[in-house]
């Protein structure tokens, strides 16, 4: 359902992006959409409290479902690749990579993973499969999601102001720099996870 909503949002963008920004955020609460939402708040085309409320069901609930799946299939994931759709949602190799990262850095990596260009759903599944208790995972994931969303909305607002004052080129440079930082953080975390996985297998 989470993936379906994200796909449905794409052809609706031309209709939603001006008058129905909150609906776009509800369907696709991703980093680039939060940037645009922050810009829209700056332009007066969206109301911040509605944006936040629209984002929460999938931003949090969609990831928590994967945490539950990781706990549900914990034993199966430790033995072999899951068959069919479950295997596509929970690829064993990627789950093991995330588990290595959790073993090395603990649940705090869940928080930082939310800030990066990073597969939050797979991290959640790995946390569930690793036996990270809900009292540790849920606060870390919630805090990371809210901080990430707030930072991106603020960045979109600031970039919107830069667009008005300095033109589109400065805004484009700002978006590229921000995207680069998020990707670098995500790759740094993944490299750490790969090291942890290799150590565990050895």
The 10s digit of each residue's pLDDT in 119-177 is 788 889 889 988 899 999 999 999 999 999 998 898 888 877 655 555 555 555 555 66
The 10s digit of each residue's pLDDT in 122-135 is 889 889 988 899 99
Mention every residue, 6+ apart, whose C-beta is less than 8 A from residue 136: 107
- The percent of residues in the chain predicted with pLDDT above 70, rounded, is 64
Query: What 3-state class would DSSP assign to 155?
Result: helix
What's the domain range around 68? 2-195
Note if the pTM is more than 0.85: no
Query: Which pLDDT value is given to residue 140?
Result: 94
**How many separate domains does the chain show?**
1
Residue 73 lies in a domain: yes
- Cα–chain center distance at 13: 20
Tell me if 139 sits within 8 A of 49, measured CB to CB.
Answer: no
Residue 155 lies in a domain: yes
Residue 202 lies in a domain: no
Residue 42 lies in a domain: yes
Q: Distances from the Cα of 199 to the Cαs of 7, 95, 192, in angstroms?
A: 38, 15, 11
């Amino acid at each position: 359902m989470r993936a379906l909503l994200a796909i449905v949002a794409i052809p609706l963008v031309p209709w939603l992006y001006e008058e129905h920004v909150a609906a776009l955020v509800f369907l696709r609460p991703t980093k680039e959409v939060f940037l645009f939402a922050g810009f829209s708040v700056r332009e007066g085309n969206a109301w911040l409290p509605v944006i936040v409320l629209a984002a929460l069901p999938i931003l949090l609930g969609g990831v928590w479902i994967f945490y539950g799946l990781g706990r549900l299939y914990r034993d199966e994931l430790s033995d072999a690749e899951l068959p069919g759709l479950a295997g596509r949602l929970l690829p064993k190799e990627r789950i093991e990579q995330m588990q290595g990262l959790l073993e090395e850095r603990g649940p705090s990596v869940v928080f930082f993973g939310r800030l990066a260009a990073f597969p939050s759903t797979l991290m959640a599944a790995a946390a569930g499969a690793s036996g990270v208790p809900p009292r540790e995972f849920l606060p870390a994931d919630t805090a990371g999601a809210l901080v990430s969303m707030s930072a991106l909305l603020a960045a979109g607002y600031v970039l919107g102001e830069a667009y008005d004052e300095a033109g589109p080129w400065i805004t484009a440079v700002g978006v590229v720099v921000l995207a680069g930082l998020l990707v670098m953080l995500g790759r740094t975390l993944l490299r750490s996870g790969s090291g942890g996985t290799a150590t565990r297998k050895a």
